[in-house]
Amino acid sequence: MADFGISAGQAVAVVWDKSSPVEALKDVVDKLQVLTGDKGQVSVENMSQLLQSAHKESSFDVILSGVVPGSVTLHSAEVLAEMARILKPGGCLFLKEPVETAVDKDSKVKTASKLCSTLTLSGLVEVKELQRESLSPEEKQSIQEHLGCNSESLLSVQITGKKPNFEVGSSSQLKLSTTKKSPLVKPAVDPATAKLWTLSANDMEDESMDLIDSDELLDPEDLKKPDPASLRAASCGERKKRKACKNCCITVVSFPVFCRCGSSLCRILVGSEGE
């Protein structure tokens, strides 16, 4: 059995299910106790009871699931989320599970990519596949017995994932810079240019300045009053046919309407045809 990077003093959880051989489970636990030492802790948890366990958040440095030789454990999304909850920040999960090499919608067994996606959705990071190997005859028999699956496209895959270095719901104070910013330095202005574009009250009193009289801006023709006849539209009477001109506005009312030209020929009554 690989040591999974376990060192002395760590808290390790071993998750097993009904497919795990008892003797193989005991052997795994004994080896882990040697690795963790007297200050470490090795806990054994049945997968069917994991969701009802009283483990607090961030309880284990390492969780091993399905690694017992002969196990054919399938991990649901709820179980993986619970494993992520009880892992310490920065802790690792190692699991082993049979996977399908081809997509089969009717199969209970997931593909390797689907299993990695489920681990990521449970809150783990740095999810990666460590190893693939063919199933042993004992594992094939166990899959058929416990899972009712008799597919020939199954493999055993070992995957690991890591919990982020923070707990869900944790907070941290933002480090904002409190140093004073240097004041903005305005670019130097040429005195001659500034004087050219500056107008002060003293300049207004300067006798050398000529002010333009607004009355001189108008020509004599602009001051003449226009002839009213030149503003009137052409009379409808000047036309050969006695018909309302284009300046007439026909409105549905009960009284006569007169054209803007003022001609009596443009008088229109409601119901008339415009003559």
Helix (H, G, I), strand (E, B) or coil at 221: helix
**pLDDT score at 43:** 94
Q: What is the pLDDT of residue 206?
A: 57
Q: Please list the ranges in the chain whose pLDDT falls under 70.
A: 1-2, 168-170, 177-178, 199-211, 233-275
In this prediction, residue 222 carries a pLDDT of: 79
Name the β-bridge partners of 247. Answer: none
| Chain CA centroid to CA 137, Å | 47
- Tokens 């690989």 correspond to 2
Exposed (0-12), middle (13-18) or buried (19+): which is 210, by Cβ within 10 Å? exposed
Helix (H, G, I), strand (E, B) or coil at 60: strand
Name the pairing type of β-strands 60-65 and 154-162: unpaired
pLDDT of residue 252: 43
Cα 17 to chain centroid, rounded:
39
pTM: 0.60
Which position has the token pair 């003022």?
Answer: 262
Residue 52 in 3-state DSSP?
coil
Give the pLDDT of residue 60: 95
**Segment 229-234 long-range contacts (CB within 8 Å, at least 24 positions apart):** 232/261, 232/262, 233/260, 233/261, 234/261
* pLDDT digit string, tens, across residues 247-266: 555 444 444 444 555 544 44
Q: What is the pLDDT of residue 71?
A: 87
